Structure 1
Amino acid sequence: MTLIWEQVVVDAADPAELGAWWAKALGWVVVNDAEDEYEIRLAPDTLPGLIFVPVGEAKKVKNRLHLDFRPEDQKAEVDRLLALGARPADVGQGDEPWVVLADPEGNEFCVLAPHGNDA
């Protein structure tokens, strides 16, 4: 049996707005901008993607699954993401070499230290 990772599904109050934010944050392209699912990928034919789908309820607690990103320059990337509308998030991480942020709808993600700078 072979499984291919197609996408990560993200519940969203406003799929198009949140999907567009992530497309800008990651520099990815929009491959589907339907009202009921907004999908972005690194390139049109590259998997996996992120797909944003509508939900009626607001996010209430820490995500059980989150994305980690490893930039070349952590501080520059954190500053850029904050300028785009991300905000600092505290999930009980304490003093760690990664930075936890939340997207505009509150979904947490981590910006890791560059390789070789892990504590």
Structure 2
Amino acid sequence: MALEWEQLNVDAADPVALGRWWTEALGWVVVNDAADEYEIRPAKDRLPGLLFAPVPEGKTIKNRLHLDLRPDDQEAEVARLLALGARHVDVGQSDEVTWVVLADPEGNEFCVLSSRRP
């Protein structure tokens, strides 16, 4: 049996707005822009993607699954994401961690890791 990771589903109050935010944040492409199923991918024919779908309830607790993003320049990337509308969040991390925890406009946490050093 073979499995391929197709996408990660993200519940959203406004799938289109959140999907557009992540499109800009990741530099990905939109493959479906319907209001009930907004999907983005790294490239049109490349997996996995992110699929944003509407839900009536809002986010209430810390995500149990989140994205870790590794930039070339952590400080510059955090500043760029904050300018796009992300915000710093505290999920209990210590001051000594090497990553930065942010949340997207609907409060979904994600981490911006430190840059890889050669």
Bin for the TM-score computed over the shorter chain: over 0.9
Q: Distance in 2 between matches of 1:88 and 1:57?
A: 23
Question: What secondary structure, in the 3-state scheme, does the structure 2 residue paired with 1:83 have?
Answer: helix
Q: Distance in 2 between matches of 1:97 and 1:116?
A: 13
Identity rate, percent: 72
Q: TM-score, normalised by structure 2?
A: 0.97
Question: What secondary structure, in the 3-state scheme, does the structure 1 residue paired with 2:77 have?
Answer: helix
Which string of whole-angstrom CA distances, capped at 9 and with x for unpartnered residues, describes residues 32-67 of structure 1?
011110000010000000000000000000000000
Give how far 1:106 is off.
0.0
Q: Distance in 1 between matches of 2:32 and 2:94?
A: 38
Partner letter of residue 10 of structure 1? V
Name the residue aligned to 2:47.
Answer: 47
Give how far 1:116 is off.
3.4
4+ residue segments displaced more than 6 Å: none
Unaligned stretches of 5+ in structure 1?
A: none
Name the residue aligned to 1:103.
Answer: 104
Count of matched residue pairs = 117
Unaligned stretches of 5+ in structure 2?
A: none
Give how far 1:94 is off.
1.1
Structure 1 vs Structure 2 CA RMSD:
1.0
Q: TM-score, normalised by structure 1?
A: 0.96
Question: What secondary structure, in the 3-state scheme, does the structure 1 residue paired with 2:82 have?
Answer: helix
